Amino acid sequence: MSFKQSILTAIEENQNEMIIPSREYTSKEITWMSGYTQALKDMIEDYDNDIEDAIKKSVDFSLN
């Protein structure tokens, strides 16, 4: 499983747990889970942007 797929899986599992909880969570735990999900989404966004930049740099060339 790739790094990106691992993060996407964690996001999906966490969202599912928030929709259909396997146990009762405290409000503090729910807040933490929401923050964790957002942090994972931010990681995916950063990852996608970094990959895009790396691809652009790899195809750009310099005459120097």
Q: How far is CA 32 from the centre of its chain?
A: 15
Domain interval for residue 15: 7-22+32-44
Q: Which of 43, 39, 62, 40 is nearest to 51 (CA)?
A: 43
Q: What is the pLDDT of residue 64?
A: 57
Q: What is the tally of structural domains in the chain?
A: 1
pLDDT of res. 63: 58
Look at residue 1 in the predicted model and tell me its pLDDT: 74
**pLDDT at site 51:** 80
pLDDT tens figures, 11-62? 999 999 999 999 999 999 999 999 999 999 999 999 888 887 777 777 766 6
Domain assignment of residue 51, yes or no: no
Q: Is residue 50 part of a domain?
A: no
